[in-house]
Amino acid sequence: MFEKEGTAVKLPDTLLKFIEEWKDKPGNLIMILHQIQEEYGYIPREVAIELSRLIDTPLAKIYGVVTFYHFFKQKKPGKYMISVCMGTACYLKGGEDIILEFERLLGLPVNGITEDGLFSLQAVRCIGCCGLAPVITVNKEVFGKLTKDMLPGIIAKFKGN
């Protein structure tokens, strides 16, 4: 995680090295934000403030990028991120029903997090597994040819970890 040191935030050395490497390159902000999100699972405000200082970029510009691109998260996600594909094939084969069933089973809306912090739910444009529609990922694990009755088993698999 990050530690506060005086008024600044102490970032991990690997992240600092990455920022230094990308600091003066074109497209640096998006690349660095991707790395921050890889490190934390989201873009913590304290880290965005420190990034602003490190690359001499206004915080408003950083948040302009974070809020423009759907990929970047501003809230810490659950331990298990459930991404439901809503691309054309998945949508036509019941993607919306899959989302509604997850909402019912987990008691949370799309872009919500369960109270225990275990699960997050999001709708995504396309996972790239159209032949397996409808498809979800839980973190990086893919589940395809889903039906609503398969979802309790998927949830149970991750609750047990």
Pairing of strands 80-85, 119-124: parallel
Q: Measured between alpha carbons, how far is 129 from 77 in angstroms, rounded to an integer?
A: 24
Residue 9: strand pairing partners: 4
The pLDDT mean for the chain works out to 92
Between residues 19 and 69, which one has the greater pLDDT? 19
Strand order in the sheet with 80-85: 119-124, 80-85, 136-138, 141-143
* Residue 102 in this model has a pLDDT that exceeds 70: yes
Say what the pLDDT of residue 70 is. Answer: 79
Q: How many other β-carbons are positioned within 10 Å of the β-carbon of residue 14?
A: 10
Q: How many other β-carbons are positioned within 10 Å of the β-carbon of residue 100?
A: 14
Average pLDDT of span 100-124: 94
Q: What DSSP state is assigned to residue 113?
A: B
Q: Grade residue 9 by pLDDT with cuts at 50, 70 and 90.
A: confident
Q: Measured between alpha carbons, how far is 10 from 156 in angstroms, rounded to an integer?
A: 37
User: What pTM value is reported for the model?
Assistant: 0.77
Between residues 9 and 6, which one has the greater pLDDT? 9
* Residue 11 in this model has a pLDDT that exceeds 90: yes
Are the beta carbons of 36 and 30 closer than 8 angstroms?
Answer: no
Q: What DSSP state is assigned to residue 27?
A: T
